[in-house]
Amino acid sequence: MTKKYSDILMGLSVLAVLVSGYDSLFKTDLFGLAGTQWMLVALILAVYGVYAKLRMQ
């Protein structure tokens, strides 16, 4: 179960990075967040994903 949870978090992190790149290129402010804020969201999701994966072991 934890592996699936960590995979979901890592996938969401990649999605947040893509949204950050899109927002930085086109200045859309998706959901009211700037591109740099999306990068912070991606970083937090990645950290939680790695933590969940390490916790599983």
Give the C-alpha distances (Å, rounded to integers) separating 12 from 40, 43: 12, 10
How many domains, the chain? 1
Q: Which residue, 45, 55, 44, is CA-closest to 2? A: 55
pLDDT value for 57: 78
**pLDDT tens-digit map of 3-53:** 899 999 999 999 999 999 999 999 888 789 999 999 999 999 999 999 999
Range of the domain at 20: 2-56
Check pLDDT > 70 for residue 2: no
pTM more than 0.85: yes
| Residues ≥6 apart with Cβ < 8 Å to 35 | 20, 21, 23, 24
